[in-house]
Amino acid sequence: MADETEGLPPRSDFSAWYNEVIRRAEIMDVRYPVKGLYVWYPFGFALRNHTYTLLRNLLNRDHEETLFPLLIPETEFMKEAEHIKGFEDEVYWVTHGGLSPLDVKLALRPTSETAIYPMYALWIRSHADLPLKLYQVVNTFRYETKHTRPLIRLREITSFMESHTVHATWDEANEQVEYELGLSQEFYRDLGVPIIISKRPDWDKFPGADFTMAVDAVMPDGRTLQIGTVHHLGDHFSKTFGITYEDVNGEQQFGSQTCYGISERCIAAVIGVHGDDKGLILPATVAPTQVVIIPVIVGKRGDEILAAVKDLEKELKAAGIRVKTDARDMRPGAKYYHWELHGVPLRVELGPRDLDNKQLVCVNRLGVKTVVPRENAAESVKRLLDEAHDQILERAEDHLESHLMTATTPEECNEKLDGNVVVVHWCGCRECADKLEELTNSSLLGTEVRSQYVKNDEGACIICGKPGKAALVGRSY
């Protein structure tokens, strides 16, 4: 549905590269006639499905999946004061049903706290009902006035995973926060995307939360992309919505809550972090096609090769590998280009010489070539896919490390922020943060930085010189 006739912009021009690869690799079509709403092409949607299957499998270990309505009555939506303030500028309102105005306006969920918690108040009666851990994958809506961009800043977030848990105590909810952060780590490791976790400053937390932990990736241009948040809600919402339980002593207590969200930005991270000048580089965990087989037909042995390719495809399929054969009558270069653009992790070539030598020539998406015996092909292919995954993770880690800087003065920080993320020391006060942000045109993303790539040490505040702690500074998407 999208043409491949011209070359991609180089990845060093990241913004242009991203927009073009989204189109040419058939992830999304941006021509839908409303700003900020995009159409998933079948290939993009398959990538989306594999990614969310991975996420669901992780969540299903201790959550159950559910589904709540999209429409939230104004009366519920307006109950939590901080929450309203955080969202009032960006909520879409349904005001009419057919030709008649509605009695109560309905919000399109920007997030589902106010849809879910009135039901939690009905469902939770006693400590035996706790913990309650549910999630849903839904479309949510934000009336974005800024520049929109597929998968990154949208008006319809088509694939928002939101988990909502209730616990007996603040500490138990806090353990859940840690657990969800661990899930994020596992999820992004499976996607080969290195992440940095930090605690957002108090003024940047989720409206109605005690605190917010955020997960950031670093894109090739050095800008950060928030690709997950875990909020400790304390009892803000349980007090507003009356989520109480009878404890073991027969007393009524308010539940302590967390929520946790991952949107299709996780796919933007996969695309952005792993690509190259040829197009997508997909981890095998989520690639719609993991292996493409290319019959190399020279001379008269065409039928023989096609039969061998068919056998191989069948064998790999039976082993659970997502494999396609490209037997189209076109020059190999154009085929390679097509599958590289779509990020297919492994290409297997089979020609007359391979047939004679009982071997397969395998080339992974990073260009690493391996010749393996035809016997036990599925096993070898699986091993090569695992190795390819390790290689793209390593490549992404190298990239992240090379874009992580430190700075001790605002000038140094400003200079290094061009294409990088910077770790500074900060005393913790809002004034210093505001000043730093103003001087460097950046955001103080967070403290309590957790990342194998960042030293979480102490030092003099970059602004006031008082004792400070490591803080992450970046320019964000």
Footprint on this chain of its own copies (rule: CB under 8 A): 1, 29, 31-34, 37-42, 45-46, 48-49, 64-71, 73, 75-76, 88-99, 104, 106, 108, 115, 118-119, 122-123, 129, 134, 139, 143, 145, 155-156, 158
Q: What is the nearest approach in angstroms of its own copies to the Cβ of residue 463?
A: 34
Residue number, 143 or 170, with CB nearest to its own copies: 143
Residue in the structure block whose two tokens are 């957790």: 450
Q: What is the nearest approach in angstroms of its own copies to the Cβ of residue 434?
A: 25
Of residues 141, 162, 160, 154, the one with CA closest to residue 230: 162
Q: What is the nearest approach in angstroms of its own copies to the Cβ of residue 92?
A: 5
Q: What is the nearest approach in angstroms of its own copies to the Cβ of residue 259?
A: 17
Q: What is the nearest approach in angstroms of its own copies to the Cβ of residue 114?
A: 10
Contacts of 102 (CB under 8 A, 6+ apart): 94, 95, 96
Tokens of 125: 């009666």
- For 225, what's the count of Cα atoms within 13 Å in the CB-facing half-sphere? 26
Rounded to an integer, what distance in angstroms lies between the CA atom of residue 101 and that of residue 94?
9
Residue number, 96 or 331, with CB nearest to its own copies: 96
Residue number, 14 or 43, with CB nearest to its own copies: 43
φ, ψ (nearest 5 deg) of residue 210: -70, -50
Residue number, 66 or 409, with CB nearest to its own copies: 66
- For 146, what's the count of Cα atoms within 13 Å in the CB-facing half-sphere? 9
Residue number, 237 or 426, with CB nearest to its own copies: 237
Rounded to an integer, what distance in angstroms lies between the CA atom of residue 348 and that of residue 305?
13
Q: What is the nearest approach in angstroms of its own copies to the Cβ of residue 108?
A: 7
Residue number, 335 or 374, with CB nearest to its own copies: 335
Task: Kindly report the number of other CB atoms within 10 A of residue 88's CB atom.
Answer: 13
8 A C-beta contact, residue 477 and residue 219 = yes
8 A C-beta contact, residue 231 and residue 212 = yes
Strands 244-246 and 252-254 turn out to be: antiparallel
